Amino acid sequence: MVVQFMEFIESAPDQSLRALSDRVLRKCREVTGAEAGTVFMLRGQGRHRHLEAVSAQNDVIRAKSALFTVPVDQTSIVGYVASTGETLLLDDAYAIPEERPYRFNPAYDQRTGFRTRSIMTFALKGAHDRPIGVVQLINRRPVPGEEGEPIFLPEHEQMIAPVNHIVGRVLERAATLERLTERNRALTKERRRVAELQAETERAFMVSVNLLARAAEVHDEETGNHILRVNEYSYALAGWAGCSRAFCKEIRFSAALHDVGKMSVDQAVLHKKGRLDERELAEMKRHPIYGHDILIASDRLKMAAEIALCHHEQWAGTGYPRGLKGEEIPLAARIVAIADCYDALRSARPYKPSFSHEKTVDILLNGDDRLDPKVHFDPRLLSLFAARHAEFDAIWEALKDREPVEA
């Protein structure tokens, strides 16, 4: 059964999520003898999570192309399965026992004249055995010689069970590829917009910088106000260091572009879960060079280009990409290195919680098992930070990412 499913699904390569879902649903219906069915994919996060119908088929009536969404809760059949991962075999959709938390919604039957009877609903499992979608099959067809109303049987569940993990992961990969494609389209659109704004006024220039910084973060959903905060930390630290007004003004927008080179990094590397191998790490470490190449063409972005190239250099000469040491590293890059590190420590990431201001200051000044401030940072700038770090905390509080407020 597993081989049959995989041969059928993969017989047409490079399919869209919709096309792949259609093939999965057709094969599930063929195996179980279902008249109709729907494939749902889980979308959104937290309380915004919902099931989106991506494929619907019906051999009795024409299934409308307008697909729909269902909340992920236990009041609906598909919501219950998505929440629990349990497989449901229902002999009669209109006779669900009262003690069950879910109910059948007859709206589709009432609107189309179709009569739903038996239902089989099972979860598609992705990575870590988590449901990533749901398949619902409707009305098993009668088999010659079979007595009674045709219903889905435990043997149908046993036939499907070996393949739902494999199919789920195939669909999960297709959904991920589709999201990345959409993000790449957005990135291309932002790049085009930046090019159009370059010839406009000073205000348009600042808009361009902001768009370019945001475009660099299209592939990172968790950055929030990171670039705004790094701008403000850098502006404050440059002022403490006695830099000119023009320098402080320039670093206030240039700092936002420190990671713009990630736009050119292999996207498979950026989105890889887990440790990078040597080749992938080398590719990631090229993002300062890529960023410099993007920015250096503009006279107004010379400082931004320096920051992009040198913000991973270290005071002791142990950084990259050029191994610069001490004051060989441009002052703007030395400032942004401290600002960026402070914000990274304050921010929650998949691999770490958000650290308090006090813990962050302690790590920056005294180090931990991953960071040695004597190796990483300009000691003069670090002493200025030590004397006035409360201002960094005030910037964090003013610009920290807010949790969405429920209406």
Round the average pLDDT of the chain to a whole number and report it. 85
Report the side by side order of strands in the sheet with 119-125.
69-71, 50-58, 34-43, 131-140, 119-125, 88-90
Query: Within 10 A of 223 (CB to CB), how many other CB atoms are there?
Result: 17
Q: Which residues pair with 119 in a beta bridge?
A: 90, 138
Query: Within 10 A of 322 (CB to CB), how many other CB atoms are there?
Result: 15
Residue 348: what are its φ and ψ, rounded to 5°?
-75, 140
Model pLDDT, residue 146: 77
Residue 164: name the closest of 287, 309, 329, 28 by CA. Answer: 28
Residue-range domains of the chain with CATH: 1-182 (3.30.450.40), 220-399 (1.10.3210.10)
Q: Model-level pTM? A: 0.51
Q: Rounded to the nearest 10 degrees, what angle do helices 226-240 and 245-254 cross at?
A: 160
Residue whose tokens read 């995989």: 6
Q: Is-contact 96 5, C-beta < 8 A?
A: no
Task: List the structure tokens of 74.
Answer: 């236990």
Q: Terminal CA-to-CA distance of the chain, rounded, Å?
A: 47
Least confident stretch, 9-18, 123-132, 189-198, 357-366:
9-18
Q: What average pLDDT does the segment 23-40 reach?
A: 89
pLDDT tens, position by position, 139-180 = 999 888 777 789 998 888 888 776 666 676 777 777 777 777
Residue 338: what are its φ and ψ, rounded to 5°?
-70, -45
Q: What average pLDDT does the segment 357-367 reach?
A: 96
How sure is the predictor about 47, in pLDDT bands with cuts at 50, 70 and 90? confident
Top mean pLDDT of 40-44, 107-111, 320-324, 347-351 is at 320-324
Does 375 or 187 have the greater pLDDT score? 375
Distance CA 242, CA 334 (A): 14
Distance CA 68, CA 171 (A): 18
Model pLDDT, residue 358: 96
pLDDT tens, position by position, 331-357 = 999 999 999 999 999 988 777 889 999
pLDDT tens, position by position, 188-203 = 888 777 766 655 556 6
Residue 136: what are its φ and ψ, rounded to 5°?
-120, 125
Top mean pLDDT of 38-47, 76-85, 232-241 is at 232-241
